[in-house]
Amino acid sequence: MKTKIEFILPLSNQVIEILEEVKQFTGNGQYVFPSFRAKDKPMSDNTLRGTQRVLYK
């Protein structure tokens, strides 16, 4: 986090259900969207932006 200040963000039950479904594909790692190259690192911002371009054409 840029500010280095930790905060708690409550999640709705629907979001928790979605995250549980995603876990089937990503495993029990630290990240919901891990890097394709290294599972101990998050997916890059550019990868996420690239998927948005494909989805919203």
Residue 5 token pair = 């200040």
Residue 36 token pair = 């394709």
Within a domain: 45? yes
Within a domain: 44? yes
Q: 18 or 37: which carries more pLDDT confidence?
A: 18
Residue 4: the pLDDT is 83
Give the total number of structural domains in the chain: 1
Q: What are phi and psi of 20, to 5 degrees?
A: -65, -40
Mean pLDDT, the chain, rounded, equals 83
Q: How many residues does the chain have?
A: 57
The three-point CA angle 56-53-55 to 5° equals 40
Max mean pLDDT among 10-14, 23-27, 37-41, 48-52 falls in 10-14
Q: 9 or 39: which carries more pLDDT confidence?
A: 9
**Percent over 90 (pLDDT), the chain:** 16
Within a domain: 20? no
Within a domain: 18? no
Contact 32, 19 (CB under 8 A): yes
Report pTM.
0.55
